[in-house]
A and B are shown apart, each in its own frame.
Chain A
């Protein structure tokens, strides 16, 4: 399974200046697992979020979740619950918290933390098997998280 951005894209995420209003991965404020504030300071783009959720090289959420709305994406996994109706079960702030770091909402969750940069054991440089270097960044950027959250809020049953 490939959940990620390539090293090159990581480089880009890290190198780009922190936009005004962007919350750093180390500064995200969780309340009961939820995050109220937009991580990028901007609204999300649901159409782009839909692509990220289904893209093997980006969110790759379908590695573990089924999403009926993404019927065109083959091989959806069954590690986590289907995401259908997630926008009804959870508020926007809760969805942001789950995508940023699901382990706060669900203790010991198997779901990767997509907006986190610290506290890993033997972190690698993407999928090379080598040690992480200074290109290391979160699995998804702040705006990508917002886009995914915007998409999830559209998933109603």
Chain B
């Protein structure tokens, strides 16, 4: 009886007292590209969310403004560095990315569909894995370390030419098993604090946890330039940080677990615009 009273009381009390909702604002890049930062949740989420929202809506005014203009977006400096490596010959075959793919703009739309199933590899591949496949199998060059310098810069460059296009990863067919694995991870309460991604990013987005305004933890904006560490951050590195903060043993960027989680989390943002490189604190 007491137990019941307690639970009901707590429920009453948890119903939002002070709202710290996402802002009502629209993002237009360079005064031309409209970015969808909130839209109807994809079907697979219909039991848990009505709307999906970009992390951009949960950040402060200055941070939001920085992302609207490429000249103010420090993430674009890394995109420029990646343009140089796009054209640079590397590896035993004497080729650059441009040798086979022409301009970077030919990659428009590609980022929106990754991670995706790769028939030849027989597994789900992230964009960074695909780039490394080109490097090791087609250029005779070394793989770039996951989420580090060259790899994350190139991911940002590939993302930049897809900005404004809707995220649209496939979750059925051969990718389904990996997607299910990622989904399980999303809802599993891990670590000594026993918290799942969903505890914070599905049940509590809009609320403050200590000094942080919780977003939905979407990755349509990745790679992300963080004001906190003044560099580009990959989604796997972000996952790692969030898991570490639950006092759990985490996984490594590029691990099969994070590939699965990336596919699942990306699919939660199907319909939002590709935004990377975005800016967050």
Question: Which residue in B194, B204, B245 is a CB contact (below 8 Å) of A120?
Answer: B194
* Complex Cα spacing A112 to B246, Å: 10
Given contacts A123-B247, A129-B244, contact A1 B191 (CB under 8 A): no
Question: Which residue in B195, B204, B249 is a CB contact (below 8 Å) of A132?
Answer: B249
Q: Quick check: is B39 within 8 A (CB to CB) of the other chain?
A: no
* Complex Cα spacing A80 to B15, Å: 9
Chain A interface mostly helix, strand, loop or mixed? loop
Q: Quick check: is A53 within 8 A (CB to CB) of the other chain?
A: no
Contact (Cβ within 8 A) B209 A122: no
* Complex Cα spacing A74 to B210, Å: 8
Chain A residues with CB under 8 A of B247: 3-4, 123-124, 126-127
Quote the shortest CB–CB distance from B238 to chain A (angstroms): 13
Quote the shortest CB–CB distance from B33 to chain A (angstroms): 35
Chain A, range 71-95, C-beta contacts under 8 Å to B:
74-82, 89-90, 94
Q: Quick check: is A157 within 8 A (CB to CB) of the other chain?
A: no
Q: Quick check: is A42 within 8 A (CB to CB) of the other chain?
A: no
* Complex Cα spacing A110 to B209, Å: 12
Q: Quick check: is B2 within 8 A (CB to CB) of the other chain?
A: yes
* Complex Cα spacing A110 to B200, Å: 9
Q: Quick check: is B80 within 8 A (CB to CB) of the other chain?
A: no
Contact (Cβ within 8 A) A77 B208: yes
Q: Mark A33-48, 1 if CB is under 8 A from B, else 0.
A: 1100000000000000
Q: Quick check: is B279 within 8 A (CB to CB) of the other chain?
A: no
Q: Quick check: is B243 within 8 A (CB to CB) of the other chain?
A: yes
Q: Mark B197-208, 1 if CB is under 8 A from A, else 0.
A: 001000110011
Contact stretch, chosen from A11-19, A56-64, A145-153: A56-64
A-B contact count (CB 8 A): 117
Chain A, range 91-110, C-beta contacts under 8 Å to B:
94, 103, 105-107, 110
Q: Quick check: is B69 within 8 A (CB to CB) of the other chain?
A: no
Q: Quick check: is B229 within 8 A (CB to CB) of the other chain?
A: no
Contact (Cβ within 8 A) B211 A124: no
Q: Quick check: is B100 within 8 A (CB to CB) of the other chain?
A: no
Contact (Cβ within 8 A) A106 B208: no
Chain B, range 223-259, C-beta contacts under 8 Å to A:
240, 243-250
Q: Quick check: is A131 within 8 A (CB to CB) of the other chain?
A: yes
Q: Quick check: is A134 within 8 A (CB to CB) of the other chain?
A: no
Q: Mark B10-49, 1 if CB is under 8 A from A, else 0.
A: 1001101110100000000000000000000000000000
* Complex Cα spacing A105 to B6, Å: 7
Q: Quick check: is A27 within 8 A (CB to CB) of the other chain?
A: no
Chain B residues with CB under 8 A of A64: 209
* Apart from A4-B247, A77-B207, A122-B248, 19 more pairs, CB < 8 Å: A32-B2, A33-B6, A63-B209, A81-B13, A89-B6, A94-B2, A106-B10, A107-B7, A110-B204, A120-B192, A121-B188, A121-B190, A121-B248, A122-B190, A123-B249, A124-B191, A128-B244, A129-B244, A129-B248
8 A-B residue pairs with Cβ-Cβ distance under 8 Å, sorted by A, are A2-B245, A4-B247, A82-B17, A105-B7, A106-B6, A106-B7, A123-B192, A131-B249
Interface of B toward A, CB cutoff 8 Å: 2-3, 6-7, 9-10, 13-14, 16-18, 20, 188-195, 199, 203-204, 207-212, 240, 243-250
